[in-house]
Amino acid sequence: MSAIAEPRVTAPERHDILSWITTTDHKRIGVLYMATTLMFMAVAGLLAVAIRTQLARPGSELISPHGYNQIFTLHGTAMIFLVIAPFALGLANYLVPLQVGAPDMAFPRLNATSYWMFLFGGLTVFAGAASNEGAASAGWTSYAPLSEITISTGLGQDFWIVGLAMVSVASIMTAVNFVTTTFIHRAPGMTMWRIPIFTWEMVATSLLIFMAFPSLTATLLLLFVDRRLGGHVFDPSFGGSPILYQHLFWFFGHPEVYVLILPYFGVVSEVISTFSGRPLFGYTGMVLAAFAIAGLSMGVWAHHMFTTGAVNNPFFAFVSFLIAVPTGIKFFNWICTMWGGSIRYTAAMLYAVGFLMNFLLGGVTGVMVASPPLDFQAQDSYFVVAHFHYTIGGGSMFALFAAIYYWWPKIYGWRLDERLGKINFWLTFVGFNVTFLPMFFMGVFGMPRRIYTYSGEGALPLLNLVATAGAYLMLLAAVVFVANIVISARRRDPAGDNPWHGYTLEWATSSPPPEHNFHRLPPIRSARPLFNIEHPEADQS
Amino acid sequence: MKTALVLFISSALFTGIIGTAYWFVAHEPAGTMLLGFMTAALLVVAAYMIFAERDADLYADRKDATMPDAAGEHVGTYVTHSPAPFWIGVALTGVMLGFVVSPAAAGVGILALLFLGALMIVRSR
């Protein structure tokens, strides 16, 4: 071990509430991000339960049509903009400097500003529920002209627009921070081809945010101009173009899907490698596949617009199919990493394996709807709802929980209970599949999405009832997760610095890490510096 | 920095090729413009790396570098707390909500942002 001079800090570490509000420490900001997103997830999850309760039987009057529109709009908006993506940003806030051996993010104040803009932006979106006609109700895509002032007359839609604009700008600022930190603030010897796979995935994600989120900000601005300043950019009655809205929105929207999944590819790679007791198979291939996915995802936006008749379907179908190639490489590499390894089925590993199974189904059905003839049949049906939830719910959300179970001991210094964690996993896994598998069949039977009731004939009532039962099972899983945190917090079972026997740099420091991360850094001679310390005789190339 | 430069140049090349192909296949201006802007933005970053950072010599890029190699007299001074980010967030929220509910709130928010900006400049000297 080589010694490094301890960084000077301007003040001793504080733990009062004011210190959390004024913090610029990347670890605390990471924790704030993750805690905030879990709060938003709780609200969005309860909204999902409300949706499923309404749909449990045909003709239900539990929720009014307008109330239902608000609920699914807030659910989708929160899960996509305020939960899955920002949780990854929070996790990366905590981990990226640790993994590259940096004392903090490149721009700590900008980092803190990003968090507060995200929080206030998210609260603004929800604050719309208190306005004259309630929250936004035009769906998470808020297509024009549905979201124009002539149809969505309430202030809720405006709260939605300005809130998401703040979240969008905050995400761009965070992406700048990640890229700069990774490129400039790596520890000596941590060459780009030695940085951990999670950090690589965050670099790819950050590039996507750079390229895609400005389009979202511009779209929101133009929509606001239409609504409040008398513009007609998307208003067809004055020569505007709703198709332009879809182009601008999906130019952000499809890369956003990969912003939601790429960080979690990184999580799963780290978890599978550690709990298989093997280095990640095909490290270079995994990195190149991440950038191939990121690049290709910028050229597929209009596969969401096949049925408009206003886009070149063969071009977008071809590029969409191509994405399956790098994604397949990742799948093969994960399986090869596990192959022949001494696998430990911890709660984190179970969630990672659950991710593989769910995401495979989401990915395969994604290839199906990338084909225009099939998409014409599935468009706006529950088939698409099922596909999307299998990728983002069954994929990203499962990896999110894998990340929580895996890095919790590093963040807090004590473990979550493994037995409760496994119960939590099985309830979530069964609940998830019971909820969303029937939705493929609902779509095939012609049930359109975003409707508050449906026909009582055929198989739809039974399929909906089963899906609702699954949703309540997931609610139970969430209760177990909260109970696990409460029980484990009382027990505070010490974790030690490296409870899982990980080999990346974050496991080289104490749990939790000191304010500036490392008192000492080990020599970095490969992508697994801790392995080199344990096995100095091994080939370090 | 070489890897980072390759990353930005190859990304720009890729989006440039996709954008050109898209124009000739679809003749659709919105998507072509978006891909064109994206290519330009990536080239700006690449150009910055080529012209402003070409002499950058990072210890991180040396395979055999050790911590003492990079350690000077002291590693640096880090600010762990600042009230500015929170208040910038509050002021920006005021500005954005002001556009929806009341121009007066937007005005207060803009004034607060200007005050915070001036304060940060004064304190940084």
Write a three-state SS string for A229-269. CCCCCCCHHHCCCHHHHHHHHHHHHHHHHHHHHHHHHHHHH
pLDDT in tens, A278-329: 999 999 999 999 999 999 999 999 999 999 999 999 999 999 999 999 999 9
B28 close to A (CB below 8 A): yes
A19 close to B (CB below 8 A): yes
Q: What is the largest distance, in Å, between two alpha-carbon atoms of chain B?
A: 60
pTM of the predicted protein model: 0.94
Average pLDDT, chain A: 94
Work out the pLDDT band at B66, boundaries 50, 70, 90. Answer: confident
Interface test with B, best of A9, A22, A172, A199 (most B CBs within 10 A): A22
The answer to whether the CB atoms of A120 and B92 lie below 8 A apart is yes
A369 close to B (CB below 8 A): no
pLDDT in tens, A138-161: 999 999 999 999 999 999 999 999
Average pLDDT over residues A68-74: 97
In this predicted structure, the answer to whether residue B95 has a pLDDT above a threshold of 80 is yes
Distance CA A251, CA B100 (A): 26
Residue B71: its pLDDT value, please? 64
In DSSP terms, A9 is beta-bridged to B78
Average pLDDT over residues A429-433: 98
In this predicted structure, the answer to whether residue B96 has a pLDDT above a threshold of 70 is yes
Question: Among A87-96, B52-61, B97-106, which is the least confidently predicted range?
Answer: B52-61
- Is the ipTM higher than 0.85? The answer is yes
Q: Is A414 helix (H, G, I), strand (E, B) or coil?
A: strand
The answer to whether the CB atoms of B88 and A191 lie below 8 A apart is no
Q: Which of residues 212-231 of A touch B (CB under 8 A)?
A: 215, 224, 228
In this predicted structure, the answer to whether residue A10 has a pLDDT above a threshold of 60 is no
A3 versus A179: the higher-pLDDT residue is: A179
Average pLDDT over residues A52-57: 98
Amino acid at site A216: L
Average pLDDT over residues A402-423: 97
In this predicted structure, the answer to whether residue B102 has a pLDDT above a threshold of 90 is no
A472 close to B (CB below 8 A): no
pLDDT in tens, A330-348: 999 999 999 999 999 999 9
Ramachandran bin of A311, using left for φ above 0, alpha for ψ from -120 to 50, beta for the remaining angles: beta
A133 close to B (CB below 8 A): no
List CB contacts (< 8 A) between B30 and chain A.
244, 247-248
The answer to whether the CB atoms of B99 and A228 lie below 8 A apart is yes
Work out the pLDDT band at A4, boundaries 50, 70, 90. Answer: very low
A92 φ, ψ (degrees, to nearest 5): -65, -35
List CB contacts (< 8 A) between A162 and chain B.
96-97, 99-100
Question: Among A23-37, A218-232, B74-88, which is the least confidently predicted range?
Answer: B74-88
Instruction: Tell me the DSSP string of A489-518.
Output: HHH--B--S-TT---SGGGGS-SSPPTTS-
A235-240 long-range Cβ contacts below 8 angstroms, 24+ apart: A235/A144, A235/A145, A235/A148, A235/A150, A236/A145, A240/A144
Average pLDDT over residues A27-39: 98
In this predicted structure, the answer to whether residue A9 has a pLDDT above a threshold of 60 is no
Residue B56: its pLDDT value, please? 75
A14 close to B (CB below 8 A): yes
